[in-house]
Amino acid sequence: MQEFNEKNGFSDDVFEVVAGNSGQKETCGSVAPTTLYLTIDGVSKTFKKPLAALNKKAAGGIVALDKVSLEVGKGEIFGILGPNGAGKSTLIKVITGLVIPDSGTVTLDGLDFRRDKHEFMKRVGAQIETPVFFNKKSGWWNLKYLADLQGGLPDQRIKDIVELVGLSSRIKSRVGTYSMGMRQRLGLAQAIMHNPDFLVLDEPINGLDPDGIAQVRDLIRQLRDCYGTTVLFSSHILGEMQTLCDRVAFLASGRLVAVKTRAEIEHGLGDVSVLCVVCDEPNRAAALIGEKYGYRTKVQGTALYVEVKGGNTAEINKTLIENGISVVSFSVKTRTLEEMYKELTR
């Protein structure tokens, strides 16, 4: 955020608006989901030492999640982006019930996790961190074991899923002999084999080759399009988020800093861009723009920086020329996703 500010000559307050980082209210996404499916409401979690954990009010510990609230719509592909230690995995573990939050609720399709855990988990397929299996057993044995825990699945169904994730040739080998990518594929197979309504994937494309990444991407899209599966996934791979997700949440040190739609991400800037105008009368230009459009401006020497909402930069140029201001240079600064990620998650 600050980096971007300095580069463009804006003060901090201006950049809060640029990044859409002006408090919790705006973080729940500029486009509200059509039908609510998953609701995370004010979830907080602090990891404490075992004995200190007995006393909920005791101070100290590592804050993993700080009042995170999210809403995911039915059939949405929702991404979670953030640096290491941001709380992505903890959030996913709270959703899947592995970590018990200190406060807040998680609701899926009207089912509260604490009260209706059984029904809740029936709808969920999850792959958490690097999938770990019984290494001395075959991939098939592991899938069969997990399917039985789920209540049993026909062999044919498991076979089809194995084929779908591209593991048919090695499914009878011991998991201990699998590569990282193959484990990820097996992890994906166990998550989707019972056809869940809600798929939670934690870094599903780590360790996959380009072909594998494309396959996973296609698979997630296919699941959503054919079965209406809602997908929540976390990743470090920004490009993947941009192409796959309908919306992306940015997490930083346990706090949700922003939720952006794909359109916003694709435009790099979202609906806010920064205009840099070098002209002979920057102060007059600033007053003019402020009066006519209500945009925030800042003058530095002969340069004028304007925070523009929407895409009417051409109109601003026209207004300046019509008012007799000679414009030396006129440039629109857009941010890459990487910049946005760095700023938001700083």
> Using CB under 8 A, which of 55, 57, 118, 154 touches other proteins?
118
Q: Write the DSSP symbol of residue 277.
A: E
Minimum CB–partner distance for residue 145 and other proteins (Å): 6
> Using CB under 8 A, which of 23, 32, 50, 301 touches other proteins?
50
- Using DSSP bridges, classify how beta strands 303-309 and 327-333 pair: parallel, antiparallel or unpaired: unpaired
* Number of residues lying near other proteins (CB under 8 A): 32
Residue number, 3 or 129, with CB nearest to other proteins: 129
The answer to the question of residue 132 lying near other proteins (CB under 8 A) is yes
- Amino acid identity, position 64: A
Looking at residues 174 to 203 of the shown chain, list those that interact with other proteins (rule: CB under 8 A): 190
CA distances to 291, 300, 316, 328 from 331, rounded to whole Å, are: 21, 15, 12, 10
The answer to the question of residue 151 lying near other proteins (CB under 8 A) is yes
The answer to the question of residue 210 lying near other proteins (CB under 8 A) is no
Tokens of 168: 């048919």
Binding characters for other proteins, 90-109, by CB under 8 A (x = yes)? ---x--xxxxx---------
Can you tell me the distance from the alpha carbon of 269 to that of 337, in angstroms, rounded to the nearest whole number? 8
> Rounded to the nearest 5°, which phi and psi values hold at 296?
-80, 140
Residue number, 151 or 294, with CB nearest to other proteins: 151
Residue corresponding to tokens 């600033």: 286
- Amino acid identity, position 222: Q
Tokens of 156: 């044919």
> Using CB under 8 A, which of 41, 66, 112, 145 touches other proteins?
145
DSSP one-letter string for 15-48:
HHHHTT-S-HHHHT-SS--SSEEEEEEEEEEEE-
Residue number, 197 or 339, with CB nearest to other proteins: 197
Residue number, 29 or 187, with CB nearest to other proteins: 187
Q: By the criterion CB under 8 A, which residues form the site for other proteins?
A: 47, 50, 53, 93, 96-100, 117-122, 124, 126, 128-134, 136, 145-146, 148-151, 190
